[in-house]
Structure 1
Amino acid sequence: MALSRLLRPLQRAEYICEPCHSFSTSSIAFSGHNKWSTIKHDKARNDKAKSKERAMVGKEIASATQMWGPDPKYNPRLTLALSNAKRASIPKTIIEAAILRGQGLSVSGQALENVTIEAMLPGSVAAVVECQTDQKARVLQDVRYMIKDNGGIVTPTTYLFEKKGRVAMEKKDGTNPDDYLDQAIEAGAADITTDDKGRLVVFTDPSETKSVGETFAKLSGLIIEELEIFWDPNRDTMVEVQDEEQVKALEDLLSSLREEPSVQDIYLNSTEKF
């Protein structure tokens, strides 16, 4: 009887202790899992943002070099672009490659060749991927594989776009497109408007982009800030991506494509900017 009385409290103590121990352990594990997931998601989001920024700054450097040469002493646009690259902590190798690309050269000194790849990406978004490379076969293989491996399909899509030339002038307060309509017509531009930065922009036939831009600059007294040939999506064929999984798949694929050194521009017919 005495032995039974001694054992009974011990059994109750063990019964109370076990769930306490289990609760404490599971709580710590769950908290750690949440923290790790948050870190991974934040890192992925930051990596995508950095990839997009590197692509934009690299394009800015290449464009400035193409228009006014590779020497910053005689190229104020390149000086500004290099300053932006430094502020964004863009690696030196990317900057040097962009300057060479503006001269039509690869890092090995070989002449670059333009390559256009058409594809349908997740969310039924049509894409035109413009590349520059001295190894056409490799780029075609790598980029096509990247698209297919991330849920896309390599298929004709340029019929959903129109190729245009675009010249953006340096911003000037109080600029009104109507005030420069005559100069734009005389220069041979197809249209004139302002962009979201308040800059005057003229559109033209792709083959006449540089000549129209230079003529308009002389007639208007404005300075050319950007000059490019791009694929403009047809407004009646643009799509909106609403499914979250498709948005994520599209963002992941675009991030991978922008990490490919040969990829220069990616044009989409989506209503959202990615």
Structure 2
Amino acid sequence: MSSLFFPTRRLALRPSTSTAICAQCCRPFSSNAMLFSGHNRWSKIKHEKGAADAKKNAQRSTFSKHLTLYSRLYGPDPNLNSQLATVIAAAKKAGMPKASIDVAVARGQGKSSTGAGLESITLEVMMPSSVAMVIDVETENKQRALQDLRSMIKKHKGTVTPTAFLFTRLGRIILKDNGHEFDEVFMQALEAGAEDVEQDEDNDIIVWTQPNTMHQAVQNLGKVLPSAEILSSEIMWSPTANRIKLDDVDAATAIGNFLVALQEYPDVQGIYANAERGAISEDAWKAVEDNLDT
């Protein structure tokens, strides 16, 4: 019976014991190597899934902002608002839940999906590596939102403390270039109430205004440049002091994870920081940059 289940036991009395034991010992190492290989494969799958989820969240955040924008500018009825209807169709095709679409459209009217009015909150935060942030929030339940966000900030080792003095408030309107000459847009934008106009690397037109004149400038631009597509309009926080360079990959990853968590919180409407890329890879910086509104 023992020879059936333990065929190598007799070899323990022979001179070649070390060879037999070595042969037996090698088996677990071979087995462990397979386990490590599977573990590495699973880690890769999790990394790819995490990247895909982050991309999906960023896409839904973009849809939400466009839905809110077009609802605010041209009304909440897609039958009377072709731009809103176009974004709704694209969001549905991308798999955005109907409930999330309804929330974004209602937010453009200053209401929650239940019809309750929204309150505005601004949270000022200092993160590790001395990165200052300002977070704009619109919510129907101020107490709940503050509790949730403070808990999130603490979990990611941040501190709620004054940081707004490191920023200035500006109105920013981004227009898609639809064949207009920049000089033409520049002059029309100035007449519409802009203080400055520039063109970014994607050839989109960025129009800067004072916060209290931004909404009127948007309306004026829609009249003088009817073919120009308004991609976004917001009152944002722009850093006034020197930006903080992110040189440490671990610090950048930690901040990126915090930003993803903020973007997933439905009441967060804008996240602004005084960070810029330092001695880290483009991929590491992209995880931060893609989740900021600066």
Q: Give the TM-score category using the shorter length.
A: 0.7 to 0.9
Aligned ranges for residues 1-274 of structure 1 at < 5 Å?
Answer: 8=14, 11=17, 14-176=20-182, 178-220=183-225, 222-223=227-228, 225=230, 226-234=232-240, 236-272=241-277, 273-274=289-290
The offset of 1:174, in angstroms, is 4.6
Distance 2:185 2:56 in 1: 37
Residues 224-255 of structure 1: per-residue CA shift (max 9 Å, x gap): 51322111222x42112121111111111111
Distance 2:212 2:45 in 1: 48
Say if 1:40 and 1:122 are closer, same or farther in 2 by CA, change over 3 A.
farther
Structure 1: any 5+ residue segments left out of the alignment? none
TM-score, reference length from structure 2: 0.82
Contact 2:199 2:206 in 1 (8 A): yes
Contact 1:170 1:222 in 2 (8 A): no
Bigger mean CA offset, 223-232 vs 204-213: 223-232
Distance 2:172 2:19 in 1: 80
1:111 aligns to what SS in structure 2? coil
Residues 138-194 of structure 1: per-residue CA shift (max 9 Å, x gap): 111211121121111111111121111122334222521x33444333333211122
Q: Which residue identity does 2:268 align to in structure 1?
A: V
Contact 1:167 1:227 in 2 (8 A): yes
Say if 1:20 and 1:201 are closer, same or farther in 2 by CA, change over 3 A.
closer
The offset of 1:216, in angstroms, is 3.8
Q: Which residue identity does 1:245 align to in structure 2?
A: D
Contact 2:178 2:228 in 1 (8 A): no
Q: Which residue identity does 2:88 align to in structure 1?
A: L
Contact 2:128 2:251 in 1 (8 A): yes
The offset of 1:67, in angstroms, is 0.6
Structure 2: any 5+ residue segments left out of the alignment? 1-9, 278-288
Distance 2:117 2:81 in 1: 23
The offset of 1:223, in angstroms, is 3.8
TM-score, reference length from structure 1: 0.88
The offset of 1:214, in angstroms, is 2.2
User: Which protein has greater RCO, CA pairs closer than 8 Å, 6+ apart?
Assistant: 1
Bigger mean CA offset, 130-139 vs 157-166: 157-166
Distance 1:8 1:202 in 2: 88
Contact 1:160 1:237 in 2 (8 A): no
1:72 aligns to what SS in structure 2? coil
Contact 1:113 1:132 in 2 (8 A): yes
Q: Which residue identity does 1:204 align to in structure 2?
A: T
